[in-house]
Copies of this chain bind each other. A is one copy, B any other.
Amino acid sequence: MSIVAVGSVAFDTIASPSGKVEGVLGGAATYFALAASYFTDVRVVAIVGEDFTAEHENVLKKRGVDTRGIEHAKGKTFRWGGQYLGNLNEAKTDFTDLNVFQNFQPHIPSHYQDSQFLFLANIQPDLQAMVRREMKTVRLTGGDTMNYWINNARKQLAETLKLVDVLLINDTEAKSLAGETNLPRAALKVLAMGPQALVIKHGEYGATIFFREGAYGIGRHPFRAPALPIEEVKDPTGAGDSFAGGFMGYIASQGELSREVLKRALFYGGVMGSFAVERFGTERLQSLTREEIDARFQIFRELTHLE
């Protein structure tokens, strides 16, 4: 079933201990769409500038991604520069040029309107809420946010969280959003804000999904999926969005919304995140096969499952 992804398309300049790239295609919507494309049909809503060429668009089209929701505006595409020279777990931002992204007003093409799944990547919470309200057939909405909105748009974010079924954020964001340093307690507080389930991403340690009592099944136990211990992390950019793509893409590919589906989706999220970091930019996500993905899923399973 189709999934609509709303978020940024960007050109990234990235330095890591493994090298440096300049102006490579990136952005949350791009990573998400490529990762999800191995599981289901993906439709993107984003904004790009005149420097976004047919060649760039073809990266998405080749993976079958519907790009008709990408608005082409006058000016330059969002550009971000960052480095992981000291710490592979956290980017030091060198520059953020929002360019056309600054005035992003998501427009949902009418032929996207039958989509049952929606992913709201990290954009201004009011825009996330607006998109969600526009989409009438959506069965499950995934959402991301960041500390900037948690600190500076708390009220708007609170409204958006009521419309998001599964929120995907990292440890720091969860603690900051809840105002609570203990992670399980922070999770309970965030779930009380609206979402049915909360995925907390722990970087190289994997991710945990916490469920609201009774959501998608019985019980209240959380579930944890690993991240693969990878010897070669070349570029962590987009790992979280690729995780979200694998997670949401797998869910959209399944008929039912059960706890077991969400657990397996958590594994697929980890799998796609682990592929993303193996090469700079989206390179690795452009050329995968479903066989490679399922083989890594098996490795993840063996990594954590007792006989």
Residues in chain A within 8 A of chain B (CB atoms): 88, 181-185, 187-188, 202, 204-206, 208, 221-226, 229-233, 260, 263-264, 267, 299, 301-307
B306 with A264: CB separation less than 8 A: yes
Identify the closest chain B residue to A299 (Cβ): B221
Given A205-B206, A221-B302, A260-B306: 10 more A-B contacts, CB < 8 Å: A183-B204, A185-B231, A208-B229, A223-B302, A223-B303, A224-B229, A224-B303, A225-B304, A267-B306, A305-B306
Measured in the bound complex, the distance between the Cα atoms of B225 and A169 in whole Å is 22
Measured in the bound complex, the distance between the Cα atoms of B229 and A188 in whole Å is 12
Q: Which residues of B contact A184 (CB under 8 A)?
A: 229-231
Q: Which residues of B contact A185 (CB under 8 A)?
A: 231
Determine how many copies of this chain the complex contains: 2
Identify the closest chain B residue to A266 (Cβ): B306
Identify the closest chain B residue to A225 (Cβ): B304
Q: Which residues of B contact A187 (CB under 8 A)?
A: 229
Identify the closest chain B residue to A181 (Cβ): B88
Identify the closest chain B residue to A202 (Cβ): B205
A231 with B182: CB separation less than 8 A: yes
Partner of A304, one of B202, B224, B264: B224
